[in-house]
Amino acid sequence: MNINHMLNEVLVRLFRNINVIEERAICSGEYKDVTANDMHVIEAIDMEGARNMTSVAKSLGVTTGTLTIAVNSLVKKGYVERVRSEEDRRVVLISLSQKGRKAYLHHQQFHEQMIEAIVEELSAEEQAVLEKALVKLDRFFRK
Amino acid sequence: MNINHMLNEVLVRLFRNINVIEERAICSGEYKDVTANDMHVIEAIDMEGARNMTSVAKSLGVTTGTLTIAVNSLVKKGYVERVRSEEDRRVVLISLSQKGRKAYLHHQQFHEQMIEAIVEELSAEEQAVLEKALVKLDRFFRK
DNA sequence: AAAATTTAGTTTGATAGTCAAATTAATATA
DNA sequence: TATATTAATTTGACTATCAAACTAAATTTT
């Protein structure tokens, strides 16, 4: 099996199963009610302070309508807090609750393990090659 | 920016946007009505002959109920043909139509371009390193 | 051969995620 | 003050998904 074929295989599998993979990593024990999508929203809100709907929607690449639905559910589940801004009453500020921050940190561990699993046993030169390939992949996707 | 951080960035972006990325690649001109999901089904059916619902559903990792819905839509759009087996009248055989095969080949080109974009300018040694890293990533996801 | 079981696929009912367009409420501008 | 703009929500429509109920056909048991 040549490298092109193999790369293709891995990427196709990744594309097809990425949601399932993430879901499995997230939905463990305490955080059974968090979907992969929920986690993307949590990641976008971030640990730091509160952000308004429009900016979070933009960084997720969804409409604010879509985000409203997602936030409704996250508020109901207790991961996110929603507060109307005092300076501008049109603006809704969303932030992570205690529970939301814990879930976020829990998910970061999954990321770290994943990265660790990939990078471990690669020499500095090998890591550089991987980085080079990924930058290219990223560039390919952005254009 | 160190490699761990960078890897994480790229993968997070990939996780979040993979559907949009694929959709954009698929929905060009002639194939505007094919969703990323449709394409996964088309890939699973494959160019070769006809396959029954259960086996395709299994290789996609979805229930046959879900596949029924997807195939309904693909048949309506003219990408897939559905025939009841003569040997066993319970079995439904699905295969790509002319149009379906063309769409499949069109999508393969996207894959090839993507792979090309990643691999180009990598030496044989570098390609080997990349392969090693991807095998690890794949193994991490499978377990 | 009739009855029971298994198998293949579809249908149904429910939920999540998505968008575009309509709506509401607040702020900014003319 | 009236108008326009902005922020967010709501509505209506669609896709994707599953589990469970169902239908039809084939296989096995009695």
The tokens of A41 are what? Answer: 């929203």
The domain total for chain B is: 1
Most confident segment among A69-83, B10-24, B42-56: A69-83
Instruction: Look up the pTM and report it.
Output: 0.85
Inform me whether the pLDDT recorded for B1 exceeds 70. Answer: no
For A112-128, the pLDDT digits (tens) are 888 888 788 778 888 88
Q: For the domain that residue A68 is a member of, what is the CATH number?
A: 1.10.10.10
Residue B58: what pLDDT? 95
User: Is residue B109 less than 8 Å (CB to CB) from chain A?
Assistant: no
The answer to whether the C-beta of A90 is closer than 7 A to strand C is: yes
- Structure tokens of B76? 């309506």
pLDDT band at B55 (very low <50, low <70, confident <90, very high): very high
pLDDT digits (tens, 9 = 90+) for B8-25: 877 777 777 777 777 777
Tell whether B62 is within 8 A of chain A (Cβ).
no
Whether A138 contacts chain B with CB within 8 A: yes
Per residue in A96-105, is it b (16+ CB within 10 Å) or e — as a string? Answer: beeebbebbe
A97 — pLDDT class (breaks 50, 70, 90): very high
Lowest-pLDDT range of A2-16, A40-54, A74-88: A2-16
Indicate the residue of A14, A43, A131 with minimum beta-carbon distance to B6: A131
In a 10 Å sphere around its CB, with 0-12 CB exposed, 13-18 middle and 19+ buried, how is residue B75 labelled?
Answer: middle
- CB-CB contact of B93 with B50 (8 Å): yes
Domain of residue A27, residue span:
3-142
| Distance, Å, A57 CA → D4 C1' | 24
